[in-house]
Amino acid sequence: MEKKQITPERITKPIQLLGAWLVGLLSVDATFLTAATKMDLASWQSGALTMAAIINVPIFIGALFLLQTKFRPELQEDLYYSTYLSNRTNEPVKISRTEAMFNELEKRLEAIDNKTKEAVGTTIFTPVLSDLSFGVNINLKNRDKVISELRTLGVLGISEFGERSGLPNIMKVAMSKYIPKEEVVEILKIAGKLGFTHYGFIDDYENIKDDVLFGAYKEEDALTIVTPA
């Protein structure tokens, strides 16, 4: 039997609790029946576990039916449930601006995640880059393209640096020396795709908060990005 797992951090909506309950039912019943088969079939313990597994089914189904009928409005997301309460009580229910923005951001991130999975199947080729912070030089001619590419990859931590009219002499990307090798490879692939020709690493004494800089100035340690032919 395929093992069912519940990941608590992925349960973000009340309606998802129904799925969690069903998985819980399968897990509990599977445990009871497995234990029963390992006991003497004539023993009362084996019979009790079998009866418990059978009784669990109508109890769980009854509870799910009750939630889907009598308590269905309570299973809605906060934004829709507040509208329901407002219409029911004829009293305005206010949602803070921060909460409304958080709900909207969550929906957009979920939409981006779904589109990315549809585009590349079940394999996400840059799952770790979203945890890094990126700095983009404001003087780069392709600055907007760089930011757009990072947004497409799900990167949220993007800042800008550089002084006006201070265009770098070479197209260089600088990275923190503490970034894992796998992430460095992905960053270099992206940099090559965006037209960057050199790369280097950020020294500790430079006191730079970002993990990656597109359009770094330091040229002494610049290495050439080798792209596949």
d(CA 196, CA 213): 11
Q: Please state which CATH number belongs to domain 129-224.
A: 3.30.70.2390
Write the DSSP symbol of residue 214: E
pLDDT, average across residues 95-103: 65
Whole-Å CA distances, 1 to 8, 18, 30: 22, 21, 9
Bridge partners (DSSP) of residue 159 are 135
0.85 exceeded by the pTM?
A: no
pLDDT digits (tens, 9 = 90+) for 119-165: 655 444 445 687 889 999 999 989 999 999 998 888 888 898 887 66
How buried is residue 129: exposed, middle or buried, by Cβ count under 10 Å (0-12/13-18/19+)? Answer: buried
pLDDT of res. 20 = 73
pLDDT of res. 7 = 56
pLDDT digits (tens, 9 = 90+) for 207-225: 788 899 999 988 888 899 8
d(CA 196, CA 134): 15
Phi, psi at residue 103, to the nearest 5°? -65, -40
Non-local (6+) Cβ contacts of 80 within 8 A are none
pLDDT digits (tens, 9 = 90+) for 159-183: 988 876 678 889 999 999 888 888 9
Looking at per-residue confidence, does 100 or 89 come out higher? 100
